[in-house]
Amino acid sequence: MGRLDNKIAIVTGAGSGIGRASALLFAQEGARVVCADVSGREAVTTKTIGDAAVAVHVNVARRDDVEMMVAAAVGNFGRLDVLFNNAGFSGPHQSLLDTDDDFFDRLIAVNLKGVFLGMKAAIPVMIKDGGGSIINTASAMALVGRKGLAAYGATKGGVVALTKATALDYATDGIRVNAICPGMTFTGLAGAGDDEEPPADRKLPFPMQRFAHPREVAAAALFLASDEASFITGVSLPVDGGYVAE
């Protein structure tokens, strides 16, 4: 028996990295999954899963795309139980003065507005169906500062604030809203293939001294999506090898 048996889930950013690992794990645990991405690789993830998944090409910064994504879950599977707002990007490390206005606007559009739009489209469906679980990908940079990541950290800090307030708004509707805050993760967006393992001999400057593998972050999302987390809402969970504890 799987931890997400009979649940319908949407995973954004499902074409690579944390999103792909989460879509595969959710399906392994019994969910039917809408794999959403802007890259075109959502189809590859869906093919790997098989009949329990559908692919949708989605730019999470566009309201029409996001509403179509939620409609795809309902149209194909009849309901929506889990939304994992995972899509996002970081870009180069830059000081505030070196950060281009257009780049900042794009970060806000994808990393923060994308979460807002996803929740706004999903929550009415979840209320109608009696509740659900929303997981938003923030970052360890939402909880601490880091040189060169002012713009990125601001968007992810916004995700944490949005998560907490939305959790309070809909707690009595049976909707749980939580965030995960990954640290340095060895993902496709960082230049690694989906099946590559992090380099074991590279020591990183935080307690566990290594990269996370996407499946380790996916495991945290699975827990928050599952009924095992039924009394957890409004939490921002670091999955960071101890980075923010220092």
Residue 234: pLDDT over 80: yes
Residue 190: pLDDT over 70: no
Q: What pLDDT score was predicted for residue 194?
A: 58
Contacts of 10 (CB under 8 A, 6+ apart): 33, 34, 36, 69, 70, 73, 80, 82, 83, 84, 118, 122
Residue type, 215: R
Q: Mean pLDDT across the stretch 118-130?
A: 97
Q: What pLDDT score was predicted for residue 85?
A: 98
Using left for φ > 0, alpha for ψ between -120 and 50, and beta otherwise, residue 7 falls in beta
For residues 127 and 168, what is the distance between their CA atoms, to the nearest angstrom?
Answer: 14
94 bridge partner residues = 149
Residue type, 7: K
Place 88 in a pLDDT band, splitting at 50, 70 and 90.
very high
24 close to 30: Cβ distance less than 8 angstroms: no
Place 202 in a pLDDT band, splitting at 50, 70 and 90.
confident
Residue 218: pLDDT over 70: yes
Q: What pLDDT score was predicted for residue 232?
A: 98
For residues 36 and 85, what is the distance between their CA atoms, to the nearest angstrom?
Answer: 10
Is 173 buried (19+), middle (13-18) or exposed (0-12) by CB count in 10 A? Answer: middle
Place 60 in a pLDDT band, splitting at 50, 70 and 90.
very high
Rounded to two decimals, the pTM is 0.94
Place 87 in a pLDDT band, splitting at 50, 70 and 90.
very high
- Both tokens assigned to 104: 């900042």
Mean pLDDT of the chain: 93
Active site residues: 152
Return the domain boundaries, the chain.
Answer: 8-245
Widest pairwise Cα distance in the chain? 53
9 bridge partner residues = 33, 82
Q: What pLDDT score was predicted for residue 189?
A: 52
Q: Which fold has domain 8-245?
A: Rossmann fold (3.40.50)
Closest-CA residue to 21 (of 197, 169, 168, 199): 197
For residues 206 and 197, what is the distance between their CA atoms, to the nearest angstrom?
Answer: 19
8 close to 80: Cβ distance less than 8 angstroms: yes
Residue 185: pLDDT over 90: no
